[in-house]
Structure 1
Amino acid sequence: MIHGKAIARVMGILMLLVGVLMLPGAAFSYYYGSSDLLALLGSSAISILSGLAFFFAFKEDKDGIRKREGYLIVALTWVVMAIFGMMPYIISGAIPKVPDALFETISGLTTTGATILTDIEALPQGLLFWRSMTQWIGGLGIIVLTVAIFPLLGIGGIELFVAEASGPTNDKLHPRIRETARRLWLLYVGLTVLVAVLYYLFGMNLFDAVNHALTTMATGGFSTKNDSFAFFTSPALQYIAIIFMFIAGTNFTVIYFFLTGRVKAALRSDEFKAYAVVVAFLIVAISVPIYFLGDSGVEEAFRKTAFQIISMITTTGFVLDDYTAYHEGITLIFFMFLFFGASAGSTSGGIKFVRHLTFFKNSYLEFKRIIHPRAIVPLKINGDRVTGKIITSIMNFLLIYLMVFVFGSIFLSFMGYDIITSFGAVATSLGNVGPAIGGVGPEDSWNFFNPAAKIFLAFLMLLGRLELFTILVLFTPYFWKAN
């Protein structure tokens, strides 16, 4: 039996948090004298009051949170955050239609970065900041923050962390889940502040620096400018973004090990080594044709290539250059990046390197098993043997991911969109990347999609952000059967 009262109480806490996190946007609105102050304050008040009502209504409930409730809470959390998060857009009139506002909000919370806006710079400062904040919230997952404070509220949170961090890695910074969540957020906040300071010191104004820091560390890609990061022509700013996008795409456990001097422990990660080597190889390999196909110098071609490759692989989605303008082969390569994803345990979306690494290692070892059918040929990641259960789970994930991509593309094409645009929109929504190919290229708005298509693509963003199983398990009869 599902413990509905426990779920309702947790939803109340999350509504309260969303409302509180709207207040910095209201502060920016007040400072700049923009027209969205009342919309942000009103939305914040509605969220906070709704949260308090839910929390106190179920304050005395003693039901526990099991794994089943954990998965349901995680799924409902993103829906609830999207519903309350879109209110500032609707109340202010900046995005008056519900499908558009919902799409923009879910794109933010899932750190996808696709937008229906055609003139981003026309948005008031408060809403621009809230738009960036939605990505920062979703970057590491509001669930982890909630886990950190749940013990103070008398609620256990281990099931929520398991549901949110549903990747194949089980590395922990600290054996206690509460301490893990706290250290993750301290690291996340610290890196965000650092990149904001660097952006400011190297030429951005304070507002742009803060906004881009939020979306850089979230690997989200929302910008305050219509031209995205291409607006900032300073090579120093672009190199800072390159470095911190790469860091944000790294497993936070590995980052923590590096910062605490445990370099050997960090370098023990096969995923990090694969991530670093593949990114470096791709930058060098693709810089050459871009240099010859474009009109840039060597350094500029290298910088543009490095920026755009890391932006795509980490699913950040910042745009510095239109990669579809060079050659069809370059366009196809960048389309393939939509299926990469950076590291598990990072803020990036996508399939993740550890899954690719496991798949390719297992496929390679299969040749040895064919030659030596009686031999025991274990698959190892980070020096540890990978169990058959994990291998099966990863294979199932990859197969389901491919099936969702194929059937999602077919479904979108039946709505009347060309197949290239359908491929690009579905792939980038599932991977939480942002820019893609076809009608959703790096310089395009998604406003041309009809309301049904926007809702469908927003659902795919949620599906990709929660790594398929957390959402899809809710559609199985096993989940709803009583114990």
Structure 2
Amino acid sequence: MRFHFKSIIHILGMLLIINSVFMLTALPFSIYFQDMQHWAILKAFAITMGAGSLAFFFTRQTERVVKKRDVYIVVTFGWILMALSATLPYLFSGAIHNLTDAFFECISGYTTTGASILKDIEAVAPSILYWRSLTQWIGGMGIIVLTVAILPLIGVGGMQLFVAEAPGISADKLRPRITDTAKRLWVIYIGLTLTETVLLRVFGMTWYDAFNHSLTTMATGGFSTKNASIAHFPNPLIQYTIIIFMFFAGTNFSMMYFGFQGQLKKVWNNDEFRAYFLSIVGLSTVFGLYVGYQLYGDIELGFRDVAFQLVSLITTTGFVSADYTSWAPFLTILCFILLFVGGSAGSTAGGIKTVRHLILAKNGWLDLKRQLHPSAVIPVRLNGKAVSGEITYTVLAFVIIFLITFVIGAMLLAMTGLDLMTAMGASATSLGNVGPGIGSVGPVDNFAWLPPMAKWICSSLMLLGRLELFTVLLLFTPFFWRGN
């Protein structure tokens, strides 16, 4: 099969141009805060814009054809190029001094993982911290989805790009035209970001902190402007606000669209939303009461800390309000398990996704019935409709490959010198795009101390997890390159 490399380069060039424009938005922050980073930002912008413009210009007259195999290359290398170009503000400003650490921070941003190598976040210039938050916001919905709304202007269809990037089992279109879908997703995304910013400001944050935390909340990314993350803001109103918006960010955006239209019954009848909502409420109530009564002696604080951390882990946001590894061993194990859960499909969350767990659970339960009635045809049903065997097998394959990748990642990290607990925690949190893990990469630690090879392994796991494995892994198969 012939690859359309000129079309691929054309789209990658456009992605770099878009990234450079986002990069330039850090300049007003540098001027306002007088942090002396305007030249670093301008140099990073010029190089990124120049590289993107050259790629775009020299391929402008090529036939704009993008086939399915081309899409996988665009999505994977688009994410890598975005992360590489995003390192420039860090390197030019001196906030990070080497490519390994800068790339780790950037890929963690674009994949909305939230793992960080910065030892003193509050010492970093405000404009660079804003850029750090913005990388998560861009990656949250996906730069590819954003581009889908623009691609028709250059004659390239967007549906294939949207399906390859969009998280979940499939890309659920809210309207027949994919560009309309992308625009509506971004209207919801921007609207919720601005709403949270206003609320956080009203409840006591500065406009700067409120905006940055809103960017990373809606991205389910978890980068903070403070060393202590959300624990720096003990105000209950701030923490409850972030809990609510983390929940929104981990919800299928299609369901939010229907909810905003007043179709609440349709939202509640969605099996995945009910499972997602009830699991959060149930776990937060049971374990919140335990921590509040047994450990804190303060029911409200215990419930708030547990609810915050459980929602943060399930939605893969990664904000920290308390050290969950200090509560009790069984709660540490629970938090480790939650690294594999993930939010809803069609959200900005990472992880395996609630709908996949739901399908596997339903199929497992029905298998018990099939043991008694081997001749009966008992399909798995989701939202009242039968799920095809093909989808069930695909879900099973995804979960198996996810777990195998986690094991391989943990083994590779252990080979770099990490202890078992840390290797498992770093592999799980990187692949699930969560941020904090267990061991020496827990909620009160970061990834700065990891050896360089371990950082590259974690970076690779972040990319695999963000693009849901298959998009990247296909590039390493011989049939991808020689297929018809």
Question: Any idea what the Cα deviations from partners look like across 1:218-274, whole Å, max 9, x if unmatched?
Answer: 000000000000101111101100100001000000000000111222222100000
Amino acid at match of 2:406: F
CA-CA distance at 1:482 after TM superposition: 4.7
Partner of 2:406: 405
Q: TM-score, normalised by structure 2?
A: 0.98
- Tell me if structure 1 keeps the 8 A contact 2:436–2:446: no
Partner of 2:188: 187
Partner of 1:147: 148
Moved more, 472-481 or 288-297: 288-297
Pair 1:267-2:268 in alignment: yes
Q: Counterparts of 1:434 and 1:274 in 2: how far apart (Å)?
A: 23
Partner of 2:379: 378
Q: TM-score, normalised by structure 1?
A: 0.99
Q: Counterparts of 1:119 and 1:166 in 2: how far apart (Å)?
A: 32
Q: Counterparts of 2:39 and 2:110 in 1: how far apart (Å)?
A: 22
Please list every run of at least 4 consecutive aligned residues from structure 1 whose deviation after the TM superposition is greater than 3 angstroms: none
Amino acid at match of 1:463: L
CA-CA distance at 1:475 after TM superposition: 0.5
Partner of 2:80: 79
CA-CA distance at 1:288 after TM superposition: 2.4
- Tell me if structure 2 keeps the 8 A contact 1:212–1:222: yes
- Tell me if structure 2 keeps the 8 A contact 1:195–1:244: yes
CA-CA distance at 1:66 after TM superposition: 1.1
Moved more, 136-145 or 328-337: 328-337
Pair 1:426-2:427 in alignment: yes
- Tell me if structure 2 keeps the 8 A contact 1:94–1:123: yes
CA-CA distance at 1:293 after TM superposition: 3.8
- Tell me if structure 1 keeps the 8 A contact 2:167–2:345: no
Amino acid at match of 1:282: L
Counterpart secondary structure, 1:294 = helix
Amino acid at match of 1:139: G
Question: Any idea what the Cα deviations from partners look like across 1:398-423, whole Å, max 9, x if unmatched?
Answer: 11111111111111111111000000
Amino acid at match of 1:347: T
Pair 1:93-2:77 in alignment: no
Q: Counterparts of 1:60 and 1:335 in 2: how far apart (Å)?
A: 51
Partner of 1:26: 27
- Tell me if structure 1 keeps the 8 A contact 2:317–2:434: yes
Q: Counterparts of 2:37 and 2:373 in 1: how far apart (Å)?
A: 68
Q: Counterparts of 1:355 and 1:296 in 2: how far apart (Å)?
A: 38
Amino acid at match of 2:346: G
CA-CA distance at 1:158 after TM superposition: 1.2
Pair 1:242-2:243 in alignment: yes
Question: Any idea what the Cα deviations from partners look like across 1:65-92, whole Å, max 9, x if unmatched?
Answer: 1111111100011100011001111111
For residues 52-131 of structure 1, the aligned pairs below 5 Å read: 52-131=53-132
Q: Counterparts of 2:183 and 2:358 in 1: how far apart (Å)?
A: 29
Partner of 1:171: 172
Q: Counterparts of 1:213 and 1:180 in 2: how far apart (Å)?
A: 23
Partner of 1:138: 139
CA-CA distance at 1:295 after TM superposition: 2.5
Partner of 2:351: 350
Amino acid at match of 2:199: L
Pair 1:304-2:305 in alignment: yes
Partner of 1:225: 226
Question: Any idea what the Cα deviations from partners look like across 1:12-53, whole Å, max 9, x if unmatched?
Answer: 100000000011211101111002211111101111121111
CA-CA distance at 1:170 after TM superposition: 4.3
Partner of 1:252: 253
Q: Counterparts of 2:263 and 2:62 in 1: how far apart (Å)?
A: 44
Q: Give 5+ residue unaligned stretches, structure 1.
A: none
Q: Counterparts of 2:297 and 2:425 in 1: how far apart (Å)?
A: 27
Partner of 1:439: 440
Q: Counterparts of 1:427 and 1:366 in 2: how far apart (Å)?
A: 29
CA-CA distance at 1:430 after TM superposition: 0.4
- Tell me if structure 2 keeps the 8 A contact 1:286–1:305: yes
- Tell me if structure 2 keeps the 8 A contact 1:135–1:214: yes
Question: Any idea what the Cα deviations from partners look like across 1:347-397, whole Å, max 9, x if unmatched?
Answer: 000000000000000000011111111111011111111111111110000
Q: Alpha carbon RMSD of aligned pairs, Å?
A: 1.0
Paired residues in the alignment total: 483
Q: Identity percentage over the alignment?
A: 50
CA-CA distance at 1:187 after TM superposition: 0.7
- Tell me if structure 2 keeps the 8 A contact 1:405–1:426: yes
Counterpart secondary structure, 1:86 = helix
Amino acid at match of 1:318: F
CA-CA distance at 1:285 after TM superposition: 1.3
Amino acid at match of 1:50: A
Question: Any idea what the Cα deviations from partners look like across 1:85-128, whole Å, max 9, x if unmatched?
Answer: 01111111110111000000000110000100110000001100
Moved more, 151-160 or 301-310: 151-160
Question: Any idea what the Cα deviations from partners look like across 1:160-209, whole Å, max 9, x if unmatched?
Answer: 01101252144221111110001001110111011011111111101101
Amino acid at match of 1:67: K
Q: Counterparts of 2:50 and 2:415 in 1: how far apart (Å)?
A: 43
Amino acid at match of 1:328: P
CA-CA distance at 1:63 after TM superposition: 3.8
Q: Give 5+ residue unaligned stretches, structure 2.
A: none
Partner of 1:281: 282
Amino acid at match of 2:275: A
- Tell me if structure 2 keeps the 8 A contact 1:109–1:139: yes
Q: Counterparts of 1:150 and 1:211 in 2: how far apart (Å)?
A: 29
- Tell me if structure 2 keeps the 8 A contact 1:221–1:318: yes
- Tell me if structure 2 keeps the 8 A contact 1:108–1:134: yes
Counterpart secondary structure, 2:348 = coil
- Tell me if structure 2 keeps the 8 A contact 1:341–1:350: yes
Counterpart secondary structure, 2:280 = helix
- Tell me if structure 1 keeps the 8 A contact 2:167–2:346: no
Amino acid at match of 1:393: T
For residues 321-400 of structure 1, the aligned pairs below 5 Å read: 321-400=322-401
Q: Counterparts of 1:333 and 1:292 in 2: how far apart (Å)?
A: 19
Partner of 1:470: 471
- Tell me if structure 2 keeps the 8 A contact 1:111–1:139: yes
CA-CA distance at 1:10 after TM superposition: 0.2
- Tell me if structure 2 keeps the 8 A contact 1:293–1:326: no
Q: Counterparts of 2:349 and 2:173 in 1: how far apart (Å)?
A: 18
Q: Counterparts of 2:259 and 2:106 in 1: how far apart (Å)?
A: 34
Moved more, 101-110 or 32-41: 32-41
Counterpart secondary structure, 2:25 = helix
Q: Counterparts of 1:18 and 1:165 in 2: how far apart (Å)?
A: 19
